[in-house]
Every structure is written in structure tokens, then in C-alpha cells.
Amino acid sequence: MRKVLPVLLMLGVAACAPPMRWERPGATDEMVSLDMTSCRQAAQQEAMRSYSFGYYPFAFGPPVWGMRRNWMLWQMRADSDRFFAENRLTSFCMRNKGYEQVEVRQAPETQAPQAPPSPSPEPTPR
């Protein structure tokens, strides 16, 4: 239960974040898409240069010095670091091109107009 609660809390907080998109004055959707694609490709290449082989497997000492190290944990950490570096570099590239992230505003849901209630006929006095 101790391991599940933090994950659930993080998912709950992430679900509350508003959707964002890149915007620049005068840019069409096609231009934004092309710029985003070029920035992602450049960020992937740079991140692969920085995290090409992950970490040296015995960065914290060889496995004979006590606890045995798990290669899969190093690989997961390298992949995670590469993912975050790609996102940072993509954001940096888009900002250099003059874009800024803005919240996506959704149109408010409207209801169909309803006719006003018809006046009921007044009873005639007898």
C-alpha cells in the first residue's frame, strides 16, 4: 500500500493539469507541426549523444562489493533520463523559435435555446 499511494497521488495531480499547446503569433497549424517535428528530431539526436550508452554499469562500485546491481535498473534510468532530456530540449528549441506554451481553451458547452414558457390563459371571471 505504501508504494501504491504515491503513484495514485501523482496520477491524480497529473490529471488536473490543463492541456497545453505551442503557439506563436502568425503561425499556422502546419508551421507549428513542422517546427515541432524538427525540434523533436533535433532533441532526439542530442539526447542520444548525451545518453547513448546509459551509465557505466559499475558507477557505484562493482557487484562484488556487497549488493548485486541490476543492469535493468540502470537501463530504465538511462531511458528515463533520455526521455526527460528530449522533452527539455524540445521545449528549448520551440521557445527559441518564438513559441510559447498556452493553455488550450475549450469552448463552453451550450444548451439548445429553450422557448420561453407560454403564458397560460387567464381564467375569465364568471
Q: Which residue has the higher pLDDT, 89 or 71?
A: 89
Give CA–CA dist 71/78, Å, rounded.
11
96 Cβ contact list (under 8 Å, min separation 6): none
Give CA–CA dist 82/90, Å, rounded.
12
Which pLDDT belongs to residue 28? 92
Give CA–CA dist 31/11, Å, rounded.
32
Q: How confident is the model over 8-13, as a mean pLDDT?
A: 70
Q: How confident is the model over 88-106, as a mean pLDDT?
A: 92
> Considering the entire predicted model, what is its pTM?
0.62
DSSP per residue, 64-80: GGSSPPPHHHHHHHHHH
Give CA–CA dist 102/94, Å, rounded.
13
Q: How confident is the model over 81-100, as a mean pLDDT?
A: 94
Each residue of 48-76: pLDDT tens digit?
Answer: 888 766 555 555 445 555 445 666 777 78
Which pLDDT belongs to residue 66? 46
From first CA to last CA, the distance across the chain in angstroms is 77
Which pLDDT belongs to residue 114? 67
Measured in degrees and rounded to the nearest 5, phi and psi for residue 13 equal -70, -40
Measured in degrees and rounded to the nearest 5, phi and psi for residue 57 equal -60, -25
